[in-house]
Amino acid sequence: MVKPSLDIGAIVDGFLIEERIHVGGMASLWRVSRADLPCPALMKIPKLGEGEDPAAIVSFEMEQMILQRLSGVHVPMFIAAGEFAVQPYIVMECIEGKTLLGRLPELPLPYAEVLEIGVKVATALEDLHRQNVVHLDVKPSNIMFRPTGEAVMLDYGLSHHVQLPDLMQEEFRLPYGTAPYMAPEQLLGNRSDPRSDIFALGVLLYFYSTGVRPFGKAESLRGMRRRLWRDPVPPRKLRPDYPPALQEIVLRCLSVEPSWRHPTAAQLAFDLGHQGQVKLTARSERLASDPWTAVIRRRFNTDLTPSRAKPALGAQLASAPILAVSISLDEESGPLNDALLNMAGRILATLPSARLACLNVLKQSRIAIDTTLDDAGHNKHVDRMVALKHWAQPLGLDEQRLTVHVLQEIDPASAILEFARVNSVDQILIGARQSSLKRKLLGSVSARVAAEAECTVTIVRVARLADATISGPLDQETTADADAVVSDGTVNLFTRGAPSIP
């Protein structure tokens, strides 16, 4: 399919592209118009060229899913979205004005103005949290103010919606965010706590009231992890006239333990708006950094370590299993993919709350330099995402139950096993190809997954033998022969650990 032109004057799905107003690391912003729009509009378009970070694609997909579920004055109004199969984009309300980032040359701001900014941003965060969203990238460039005064939170590519799949956590091991503003629990993989946004707002309040970032600009994971056991320098040490109540609020926001922070953004907004009623503790007058005894205690604190149980999204789906199905997208896999679709449909029919994660491994070369575009100039990652969604379309799942994942790895079996382990997958559904000399010598991906997975594994293959049935816990011998047996004329079920889902 021919992708539309993105030049000024071009029309994309009825939107006239008028002007490019910003180019970022992951996307560009264009001013667009259409006769029926109720307000000025912006079109956000992700970068999909050679060498672009796959995380940019996934985060854009997250923003597409989240933004259209939000409403109110604290978010830009969602207007439209484009399909990845043609041209991905988001059209949203264009909010007149500048981001809070433009105030950096004026730092430090007067205390009264910092308090006013804090109240507005905390109010906006409370509204987001009530709509089941943790922003996770609160920073000056993602905050604007309407002419009527309300703060507007921008950019939901790193956000977590408790009712949607968390693709960023499912596909990437490293924490994503803006280094100076990331909460300690974010660094450890916890993306579901709304108090992470309170921590980030505390960083912003500290920075805008002192002119100094509380944790510096450290961007290495090792440097960022210092905030797990070190407190920032108290603001009153930097500015002797710093209001005690403001220091009390800011340092409480920056507590290492989420339970020590304000329990809600609404309570934080109340404290910022009513300084006279803030209960002052010893930290309001603190001038010295944290004592070494506290640092040592925190170094060995495991309270922030994320549980090995299901991730945050899985917690609200605790009664439903996660099924991962590995799909090959080469031309010869058509019959096998049909068999996988049939088996997935049988499983999902008995479990109406189950999650389905469709996996494809974009195999990387050990020695050559891999390109992100194919011969036709299409982004390989995006094309495979579209193909996986097309494969799953006959299942009729809503997007809350379906996710697609393109894993880039040298070893496909390792990629599948790692995905299953990290994401607490309950069952893996994987196809087995016909036997060949190469597979006998090197071993098959399906046999290795069945042998090493910590969850139930169902191996599916196109019928070749009839009336043969083998099932039960895998041992070394049956694993080696997994590809050579079928049951019901179509598939053979093997289980490891828990019984296989019928």
Backbone φ, ψ for residue 45 (5° rounding): -125, 125
Stretch (H or E) spanning 414: helix 412-422
Q: Which CATH code for domain 320-484? A: 3.40.50.620
d(CA 18, CA 34): 11
Distance of CA 153 to the CA centre of its chain: 17
Place 330 in a pLDDT band, splitting at 50, 70 and 90.
confident
Residues in the chain: 502
Q: pTM of the prediction?
A: 0.74
Give how far Cα 402 sits from Cα of 68, 100, 139, 316, 398, Å.
Answer: 17, 36, 31, 16, 7
- Residue range 7-15: mean pLDDT, rounded: 90
Cβ neighbours of residue 7 closer than 8 Å, sequence gap 6 or more: 17
- Structural domain 100-299, CATH architecture: Orthogonal Bundle (1.10)
User: Would you kindly state where each structural domain of the chain is located, as residue ranges?
Assistant: 11-93, 100-299, 320-484
Of the pLDDT bands very low, low, confident and very high (cuts 50, 70, 90), residue 322 is confident
**Tens digits of residue pLDDT in 469-483:** 333 333 333 333 333
What is the tens place of the pLDDT at every residue in 31-79? 999 999 988 999 999 988 777 778 888 999 999 999 999 999 999 999 9
CA distance 146 to 135: 19
Pick left, alpha or beta for residue 34 (phi over 0 → left; psi -120 to 50 → alpha; otherwise beta): beta
- The matching CATH number, chosen from 3.30.70.260, 3.30.200.20, 3.40.640.10, 3.40.630.30, for 11-93 is 3.30.200.20
The pLDDT of residue 128 is 95
